[in-house]
């Protein structure tokens, strides 16, 4: 076996060893192993997911050879689950792969407890009725669930998890935590010891912008009754003040200070997103609270007390022009403050745990530390039961989508993807699944879609003839390229859910394979 560190190098750089460990512990169940499901699992098996169980009751037919890479000529007539499982195992011997030759619908109907053994279920190509039932089963068993479906040039992906809390959300762009307009005493003192008017040009051009900005902000506040620049004019003037401090044109540190001056103008205190989490009823913890919410409760106390309205300091600074000494010392200063904040939060976490009757040390130092470091970026995702969305979607949103040109194709596909299931429940076949009777199918699908819209409270709304025709043309085809796309999306979301890193998608993702104007619908 290859050294896993080398084999997984390119992904360890994204989710680290902790993320990898979470993947390797996870067990995934796949329902239906057509190309959509097979491709989803392929991407997970390559990345070293712990175990997979492939559930499918069908046998390999000629048609499968044209859209599924995991079956080949020699598989004809054999159980599809077996063939797909064998190919997946070939991709990575570290993964435990097994299959069950059974129709998913049968399992859902007769053996609901089967699903509770898994970390996550990937349910592909299910019709509405089965989705609703499976969703209820997984929600009750606290098993994460992702639906994925490919249908002609469209398809969808939908996550269903009661609550998913993310500590390491790792956003691409996030304002760094420098406290330039609200320096703590040690940073203030450090700044005082630096002379912006030094006569040594080499020293002058190596003063890091953090210090330039803290100093300039302080001076500004002194001469403006304690206020910082807020109007556009004032902000411009602030930049001029910095510019005036330059003694040579090649001083990159001052140029950086001017560019970073918006960090001085940023508001103090916590963001509205974080406030919403602190105000969540889950933050009032009892013995049943999860570790995440216990830490949120501690965070809330910290912000109200020691933090003085701020979250614990993140403790890292971006690279900037500086002498090595000043930079390294600044870095240490930020780290020391972050460590001090962490220790206070840790104590509060221990106290809360004790109060709710849990072992005060049941949450590790490492976890609390990571929580503090990411406190400003915490994210909580919640997903409706799919039945709720199906029966009573958020009407204003739905109406908005139906009239918004950007969304019209995507929401049209959303309605039609549901309409084809009603169609198939009535006529035992999908519209256009077989040649002949196309005109009749088109008019039947139209009627079905209109009545669905009316059931959802959108009387009078219609879909374009072109899109209805298009849906009939697809005839429930599972095209490989579309399945690979949908499967790719589903596997990316699985990874985010299992590693508990990055932020999973919200709402229902509708793939638009016509012009790629896909959309997320929040219904």
Partner 1 sequence: MVESRISSSSRSRDLDKLLLRPGNLVGPTFEPGTQLRDDLQEYARILVVGAGGLGCELLKDLALSGFRNLEVIDMDRIEVSNLNRQFLFRLEDVGQPKAEVAAKRVMERVSGVNIVPHFCRIEEKELEFYSEFSIIVLGLDSVEARSYINAVACGFLEYDSNDEPVEETVKPMVDGGTEGFKGHARVILPGMTPCFECTIWLFPPQVKFPLCTLAETPRTAAHCIEYAHLIKWDEVHSGKSFDPDNPEHMQWVYLEAAKRAQLFGIPGVTYSLTQGVVKNIIPAIASTNAIISAACALETLKIASGCSKTLSNYLTYNGVEGLHTKVTEFVKDKDCLVCGPGIFIELETSVTLKMFIDQLEDHPKLLMSGASVRVGGKNLYMAAPPLLEEMTRSNLGLPLFELMDKSPTGVVHVTGTAGKGDKRQSCLRKLRVAFKAVGIADTDMAGGA
d(CA 121, CA 211): 52
- What is the size of the binding site for partner 1 (CB under 8 A)? 93
> Does 200 participate in binding partner 1 (rule CB under 8 A)?
no
Closer Cβ to partner 1, 171 or 308, answer by number = 171
Interface region with partner 1, contact rule CB under 8 A, candidates 86-94, 212-220, 221-229, 231-239: 86-94
Shortest spacing between CB 298 and partner 1, in angstroms: 25
> Does 408 participate in binding partner 1 (rule CB under 8 A)?
no
Shortest spacing between CB 28 and partner 1, in angstroms: 13
Q: What is the CA radius of gyration of the chain?
A: 28
Choose which of 46, 86, 141, 241 interacts with partner 1 (CB under 8 A): 46
Closer Cβ to partner 1, 395 or 520, answer by number = 520
Binding mask 424-443 for partner 1 (x = CB under 8 A): --------x-xxxxx-----
Q: Which of residues 1-30 bind partner 1 (CB under 8 A)?
A: 1-3, 6-14
Angle between helices 185-192 and 209-223 (to 10 degrees): 100
d(CA 179, CA 217): 11
d(CA 171, CA 278): 20
Choose which of 90, 109, 186, 237 interacts with partner 1 (CB under 8 A): 90
Closer Cβ to partner 1, 22 or 294, answer by number = 22
d(CA 117, CA 308): 45
Order of strands across the sheet with 144-151? 96-100, 51-55, 27-31, 120-124, 144-151, 154-160, 508-512, 519-521
Q: Which of residues 145-174 bind partner 1 (CB under 8 A)?
A: 152-153, 169-172
Q: Which of residues 492-521 bind partner 1 (CB under 8 A)?
A: 492-493, 495-496, 502-506, 509, 513-518, 520
d(CA 299, CA 501): 20
Interface region with partner 1, contact rule CB under 8 A, candidates 60-68, 291-299, 367-375, 384-392: 60-68
Q: Which of 122, 163, 169, 166 is nearest to 384 (CA)?
A: 163
> Does 489 participate in binding partner 1 (rule CB under 8 A)?
yes
Structure-token match 């309409």, residue found: 419
Dihedral Cα 389, 391, 396, 401, nearest 10 deg? 70
Choose which of 323, 347, 424, 462 interacts with partner 1 (CB under 8 A): 323
Shortest spacing between CB 115 and partner 1, in angstroms: 23
d(CA 30, CA 34): 10
Structure-token match 């051009």, residue found: 205
Choose which of 322, 374, 448, 499 interacts with partner 1 (CB under 8 A): 322
> Does 315 participate in binding partner 1 (rule CB under 8 A)?
no
> Does 63 participate in binding partner 1 (rule CB under 8 A)?
yes
Shortest spacing between CB 65 and partner 1, in angstroms: 5
What is the end-to-end Cα distance of the chain in Å, rounded?
46
What Cα–Cα distance (Å) separates residue 513 from each residue in 35, 298, 481, 493, 523?
Answer: 16, 47, 10, 20, 21
Choose which of 21, 65, 105, 127 interacts with partner 1 (CB under 8 A): 65
């Amino acid at each position: 076996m290859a050294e896993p560190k080398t084999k997984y190098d390119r992904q360890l750089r994204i989710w680290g060893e902790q993320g990898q460990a979470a993947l390797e512990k996870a067990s995934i169940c796949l329902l239906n192993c057509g190309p959509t499901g097979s491709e989803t699992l392929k991407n997970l098996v390559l990345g070293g997911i712990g175990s997979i169980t492939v559930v499918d009751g069908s046998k390999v037919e000629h048609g499968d050879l044209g859209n599924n890479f995991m079956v080949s000529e020699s598989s004809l007539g054999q159980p599809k689950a077996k063939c797909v499982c064998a190919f997946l195992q070939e991709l990575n011997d570290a993964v435990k792969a097994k299959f069950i030759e059974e129709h998913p619908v049968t399992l859902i109907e007769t053996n609901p407890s089967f699903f509770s053994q898994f970390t996550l279920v990937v349910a592909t190509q299910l019709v509405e009725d089965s989705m609703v039932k499976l969703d209820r089963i997984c929600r009750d068993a606290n098993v994460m669930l992702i639906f994925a479906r490919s249908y002609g040039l469209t398809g969808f992906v939908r996550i269903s998890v009661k609550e998913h809390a993310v500590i390491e959300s790792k956003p691409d762009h996030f304002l760094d935590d420098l406290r330039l307009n609200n320096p703590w005493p040690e940073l203030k003192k450090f700044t005082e010891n630096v002379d912006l008017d030094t006569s040594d040009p080499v020293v002058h051009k190596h003063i890091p912008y953090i210090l330039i900005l803290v100093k300039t902000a302080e001076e500004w506040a002194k001469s403006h009754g304690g206020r910082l620049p807020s109007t556009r004019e004032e902000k411009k003037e602030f930049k001029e003040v910095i510019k005036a401090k330059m003694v040579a044109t090649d001083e990159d540190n001052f140029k950086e200070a001017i560019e970073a001056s918006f960090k001085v103008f940023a508001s103090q205190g916590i963001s509205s997103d974080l406030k919403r989490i602190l105000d969540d009823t889950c933050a009032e913890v009892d013995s049943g609270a999860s570790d995440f919410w216990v830490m949120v409760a501690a965070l809330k106390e910290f912000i109200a007390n020691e933090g003085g309205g701020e979250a614990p300091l993140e403790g890292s600074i971006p690279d900037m022009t500086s002498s090595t000494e000043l930079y390294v010392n600044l870095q240490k200063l930020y780290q020391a403050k972050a460590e001090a904040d962490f220790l206070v939060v840790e104590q509060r976490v221990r106290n809360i745990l004790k109060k709710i009757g849990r072992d005060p040390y049941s949450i590790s130092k490492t976890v609390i530390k990571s929580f503090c470091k990411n406190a400003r970026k915490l994210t909580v995702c919640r997903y409706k039961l799919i039945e709720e969305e199906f029966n009573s979607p958020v009407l204003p949103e739905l109406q908005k989508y139906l009239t918004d040109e950007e969304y019209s194709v995507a929401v049209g596909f959303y309605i039609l993807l549901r309409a084809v299931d009603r169609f198939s429940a009535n006529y035992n076949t999908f519209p256009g699944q077989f040649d002949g009777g196309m005109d009749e199918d088109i008019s039947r699908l139209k009627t079905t879609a209109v009545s669905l819209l009316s059931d959802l409270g959108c009387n009078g709304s219609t879909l374009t003839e072109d899109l209805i025709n298009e849906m009939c043309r697809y005839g429930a085809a599972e095209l490989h390229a579309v399945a690979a796309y949908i499967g790719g999306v589903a596997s990316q979301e699985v990874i985010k859910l299992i590693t508990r890193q990055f932020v999973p998608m919200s709402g229902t993702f509708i793939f638009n394979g016509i012009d790629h104007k896909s959309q997320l619908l929040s219904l």
